[in-house]
Amino acid sequence: MKETASLLNPKANLFEKIRIHQPKWWKLLCEDKELYIEIRKDNSINVYFFGGSIARIEYKNGFVAKIHQKYLGDYKPRGKTKKGNDKFEYDKIDLSKLNELKIAEIKNCIKTDYIRHINVEKPSEKWIQGKIIKENPRYIDSEFQFNKDNVIGKLRIDLIELSDGVLTFIELKGIFDNRLRNKAQSSSIPEIIEQMKKYRQFINTYQIDIIDYYKKLIEIKQSLGLTIIENNNFTINKTPKLIIANTYKKIDSRREKRISDIEELLKTYNIDYDII
Dump strand ranges (E) for the chain: 36-40, 44-49, 52-59, 63-68, 90-93, 139-146, 155-163, 166-174, 235-236, 241-245, 272-275
CA distance 226 to 205: 29
Confidence of residue 269 (pLDDT cuts 50, 70, 90): very high
List Cβ neighbours of 264 (8 Å cut-off, separation of 6 or more): none
Cβ contact 140:227 at 8 Å: yes
Strands 52-59 and 139-146: unpaired
Query: Percentage of the chain with pLDDT > 70?
Result: 96
Instruction: Give the residue-averaged pLDDT of 124-132.
Output: 89
Question: Does 137 have pLDDT greater than 70?
Answer: yes
Q: Residues for the chain: how many in total? A: 276
CA distance 71 to 50: 13
Phi, psi torsion values for 33, nearest 5 degrees: -70, -15
Question: Does 76 have pLDDT greater than 80?
Answer: yes
Greater model confidence, 19 or 190: 19
Confidence of residue 185 (pLDDT cuts 50, 70, 90): low
Phi, psi torsion values for 155, nearest 5 degrees: -145, 150
pLDDT tens-digit profile of 206-246? Answer: 999 999 999 999 999 999 999 888 877 899 999 999 999 99
As a dihedral over the C-alpha atoms of residue 229, residue 234, residue 237, residue 243, rounded to 10 degrees, the angle is 0
**98 three-state secondary structure:** coil
